[in-house]
Amino acid sequence: MGDFEYYFELDMMDRCILIEEQYGLNFTGLKRLIETEGAVKTATVLINQKQHYKEFYDLLKINRLDLSIEQLILEIKYIEMFDKSTVISAMNRLQKFSHKDHSPSQ
């Protein structure tokens, strides 16, 4: 695992823990996927599937899409780890469910 993948995984796990602690949501399934499949593979699969994953809807309900996997991969430090299709899917999903600008961020 490269440095960027390592930090991406740490950031994903930190977000899961933060969400569980601050909002009482259960992200155990997502954390298990990250631990078994790796963060990059998990993010790629979840973002490219047709149905939205459960945790995305959980974040949408509490108005915290800023903590989503989609938003994380759009960060400049991680965006190049993903193919163009995954990045576009992440942007489109965020734009569909919010009125904020979700272009790649720093």
Task: Quote the tokens at residue 54.
Answer: 């459960």
The whole-model pTM stands at 0.86
User: What single letter denotes the amino acid at residue 44?
Assistant: T
Tokens 């989609």, located at residue: 70
Sign of CA dihedral 81, 87, 93, 98: positive
For residue 105, what is the DSSP state?
B
**9-61 per-position pLDDT tens digit:** 999 999 999 999 999 999 999 999 999 999 999 999 999 998 889 999 999 99
Rg (CA), the chain: 13
**51-87 per-position pLDDT tens digit:** 889 999 999 999 999 999 999 999 999 999 999 999 9
Long-range Cβ pairs for the range 89-95 (8 Å, 24+): 89/47, 89/48, 90/47, 93/47, 93/52, 93/56, 94/65, 94/68, 94/70
Query: What's the rounded Cα separation, in Å, for the pair 42 and 8?
Result: 11
For residue 103, what is the DSSP state?
S
